[in-house]
A and B are shown apart, each in its own frame.
Chain A
Amino acid sequence: MDSRTRVVVTGIGAVTSIGIGREPFWRHLLDGQSGIGKVESFDTSRYQVHVGGEVKAFAPEPYVTRLSPSQMGRGSQLAIAAARLALADSALDVGSLDPIRVGVSVGTTSGEPEWIERFNDRELAGERDRIGDEFLNRYPCHVLAAHVASELGFRGVNTVIPTACAAGNYALAHALDTIRSGDADIMLAGGSDAFSRITYTGFARLGAIAPERCQPFDKNRKGMIPGEGAAVLIIEPLERAARRGARIYAELAGYGLSCDASHMTAPQGDGAVRAMRSALQDAGLTADDISYVSAHGTGTPANDRVEAMAVKQAFGDRKVPISSIKSMLGHTMGAASAIEAAACALAVWDDQIPPTINLEQLDPECDLDCVPGRSRRIPVEAAMNNAYAFGGNNASVIFRKCR
């Protein structure tokens, strides 16, 4: 293996508010289905907003079979489900794999927030004595990758990259390098975040949550909507995939990372441009080669304006089709860019791009081709997945057709 080893996506598992599993996820994404509804996982009566993108149909039992689902948080359950779905989708013969050569790389924003929330509930109720070993055993975010690997029996490189809302892309980037450096034959890479009271509280306090709908790039957009979910992609060298006759969704062609280094929560734009340019260079492509951009597109006034500006800077006069699937799923935090990566790989494979729903009146400051309302069938030679995060983090990952 070396720095030029071609690496491909051969399996996709997604656990989302609009579908569990690659096929329903993709079909509903193209249909423009919304996964937003009334929050049920905690009481929002003291909040001014009440909607979220919860995965209400999810039950861990079919997926978490070796470990006990009751011994872990929802973030791990979602991640394990996505990993099992991705493995099944890849048709890998798991029994024939050398466990030490299979690694796991998971991105997240909050890890397992329910366990610090429970810690706090006990503390506030004057029940500190009832805080037991579950807090340290189940809360720290590294449990996400540990639980996936323990459940599936994989012993290779194992890490959680908690780079907030760009984390899924960071995890995929790490998987690419880990395979190229020869440290693993197969990587399970993605992101997972469970619906979190802490995250909801924070965005509500910032006044960033929209009351009903998420409307990226719309002139009247009212904010983001917190969500949850997970996606895992099976990443392996092209040569290996070809040898076993695997279905190849797309080549993981390259990535770029950067940091604004100027504000924790307000995007600046220049870092996003640097990440896009560096991803293009890494993939050996130019902006003109990109057929589709999956936007970070949170639906907040600031993000979409700055992102549109950055995309215009990177792509010049050409209006590249760009959509935000957060219009359907809300913002699934650390899982978001992993789920969006799944959508990019599927777009490259299927030559269709998902729409931005709820987009009624395009903001003149975001005068891009935002694929409003309906999915589109176009040749998708290459897709760029953009993600931006708290901490000024920027990450762009590029998928292209594997020829």
Chain B
Amino acid sequence: MPVAVPGVVITGAGLVSALGDRPSQVHGALCDGQTAFGPSVLLADHAGRYQVAEIRDFAPRNYFGQRNLRPLDRTGQLAAAGAELALADAGWPLEAREKQEVGLVIGTTFCSVRTIGEFDRRAMREGPGYASPLDFANTVINAAAGQVAIWHRLRGLNSTISSGAVSGLHAIGYAAQMIRSGRAATLLAGGAEELCFESFLGFLRTNLLCGFGDAETARPFDRRRSGCILGEGAGFLVLEAEEAARARGAKVIGRIGGFGAAYDSRQAMQEIGGANALAHAIGRALEADGPADVGAVMTSGSGHATLDAREAAAIRGALGSRVSNLPVTSIKGHLGETQGAGGALQTILMLESLRAKKLPAVGGLEQPDAGFGLDFVTGSPRPVAATAALVTAVAREGNACALVVSAC
């Protein structure tokens, strides 16, 4: 007898972003065409004239009251806040989490390269005896996962996924697989990344940032795209086995469908044509549900010359003639490149778009690259009647993921 595979439902969503900390609020801002871009306070003079998408007024006390925040660095605080909001939205109070194991999967590129960098610099500057033991605990890349588990009493499986800018989406796909295989009934899944000097300098020196002239901004899929604007944030979904969610009387807001992941070599990533892992991932994600029901695509387009083109090529290649009436959008022209958080924010805001039946336009996109052959949402939001959508993500290191999400 085949064992029934549990359906995976979404019972809550939470995020902290540069455009707000409620999915409906951030969705509204996107639809209004707001962007989070501006000079950095966090990086002070390190950012120079470059714009960033930072969470300017992040006030952890709003989420955590008077608890001791010292053990959490910025990544830990962003993650704990996003997790708090998602758990509250799903109706998983602390007492329930004491009785039943809830697990956690976080996608992140660096966790906190700020903490890691500072820890080492202090030891090198002042001598190893002056290194901070408290900070040492946060130098591991699963520090945010560990801290969030402690903060919210999450005693189930505790995983961190690092696959570059697709990490957040990968984490959601990984978590859904854990539920389908019966290894967990409830998982918080998403991603987190802070903006810091170290990652900013990395992006700057790798020529990934767009310039700071008057017309220069993040323009995903635009003919004039010249790079991204670096951002930060955290976002989590509460995923549950469908039966368990129904049994506890949870409000079901959505559902996770198929998922696919694949990889292209560094050599392949240099070219627009040729091997494309995302096309394979999309095919895999659509195997379960079939493409007919997917009514929109939320991409990871950030303004990168090659990556945006490869992502568009994969969507066109995998969906063929169906792309002609399939609206395509991106949030990175509003919220910037939030790295490990990106895929999670994309999924949450796609779900919100399906629920609100309104798809925001691609920020900064004025002159779509005609060669892409996709129906990008430009200028103003587009009504969307479908209940399911595709979320895609590519990373410059070669990872690609695709996920089907639907609203209930």
A residues neighboring B (CB under 8 Å): 2-4, 46-47, 67, 100, 104, 108-111, 113, 116-117, 119-121, 123-124, 128, 131-133, 135-137, 139-143, 145-146, 149-150, 153-164, 167, 170, 174, 177-178, 180-181, 183, 197-199, 201-202, 204-206, 257-265, 271, 274, 282, 389-393
Closest residue of chain A to B105 (Cβ to Cβ) is A161
Q: Are B142 and A389 in contact (CB under 8 A)?
A: yes
Interface of A is mostly: mixed
Interface string of B280-304 (1 = CB under 8 A from A): 1000100000000000000000000
Contacts of B155 in A (CB 8 A): 258-261, 271, 274
Distance A261 CA – B208 CA, assembled complex (angstroms): 37
Contacts of A143 in B (CB 8 A): 397
Q: Are B181 and A180 in contact (CB under 8 A)?
A: yes
Q: Are A201 and B121 in contact (CB under 8 A)?
A: no
Contacts of A390 in B (CB 8 A): 137, 140, 142-143, 146
Q: How close is B174's CB to chain A, nearest CB, in angstroms?
A: 7
Closest residue of chain B to A170 (Cβ to Cβ) is B159
Candidates B3, B146, B260; contact of A392 at CB < 8 Å? B146
Q: Are B158 and A163 in contact (CB under 8 A)?
A: yes
- Interface: B375 (CB within 8 A): no
Q: Could you give 28 example pairs across A and B, Cβ below 8 Å?
A: A3-B5, A3-B182, A108-B141, A109-B141, A110-B139, A116-B117, A133-B207, A139-B202, A146-B398, A150-B398, A158-B262, A158-B263, A161-B161, A162-B111, A162-B162, A163-B158, A164-B142, A177-B181, A197-B120, A201-B120, A205-B123, A205-B136, A257-B183, A258-B157, A260-B149, A264-B150, A282-B183, A390-B146
* Contacts A137-B206, A391-B158, A392-B149 known; 8 new A-B pairs at CB < 8 A: A3-B181, A110-B140, A116-B116, A123-B121, A140-B397, A162-B160, A260-B149, A264-B143
Contacts of A117 in B (CB 8 A): 120
Q: Are B280 and A124 in contact (CB under 8 A)?
A: no
Q: Are B267 and A159 in contact (CB under 8 A)?
A: no
Closest residue of chain A to B202 (Cβ to Cβ) is A136
Distance A99 CA – B141 CA, assembled complex (angstroms): 29
Q: Are A132 and B205 in contact (CB under 8 A)?
A: yes
Contacts of A67 in B (CB 8 A): 266
Q: Are B398 and A141 in contact (CB under 8 A)?
A: no
Distance A392 CA – B152 CA, assembled complex (angstroms): 13
Stretch in B81-89, B125-133, B324-332 touching the partner: B125-133
Q: Which one of A2, A143, A257, A274 has the greatest number of beta carbons of chain B within 10 Å? A: A257
Candidates B174, B181, B205; contact of A135 at CB < 8 Å? B205
Interface string of B325-345 (1 = CB under 8 A from A): 000000000000000000000
Q: Are B399 and A393 in contact (CB under 8 A)?
A: no
- Contact-size category for B: 35 or more
- Interface: B217 (CB within 8 A): no
Q: Which one of B136, B267, B398 has the greatest number of beta carbons of chain A within 10 Å? A: B136
Q: How close is A341's CB to chain B, nearest CB, in angstroms?
A: 17
- Interface: B170 (CB within 8 A): yes
Q: Are B157 and A259 in contact (CB under 8 A)?
A: yes
Interface string of B9-40 (1 = CB under 8 A from A): 00000000000000000000000000000000
Distance A258 CA – B156 CA, assembled complex (angstroms): 5
Q: How close is A256's CB to chain B, nearest CB, in angstroms?
A: 9
Candidates B104, B180, B265; contact of A259 at CB < 8 Å? B104
Q: Are B202 and A120 in contact (CB under 8 A)?
A: no
Closest residue of chain B to A130 (Cβ to Cβ) is B205
Distance A399 CA – B147 CA, assembled complex (angstroms): 31
Distance A153 CA – B261 CA, assembled complex (angstroms): 16
Closest residue of chain B to A104 (Cβ to Cβ) is B263
Contacts of B316 in A (CB 8 A): none
Closest residue of chain B to A259 (Cβ to Cβ) is B158
- Interface: B216 (CB within 8 A): no
- Interface: B277 (CB within 8 A): yes
- Interface: B124 (CB within 8 A): yes
Closest residue of chain B to A271 (Cβ to Cβ) is B155
Q: Using A110-B141, A155-B277 as known contacts, say yes or no to A146 and B399 having CB atoms under 8 A apart.
A: yes
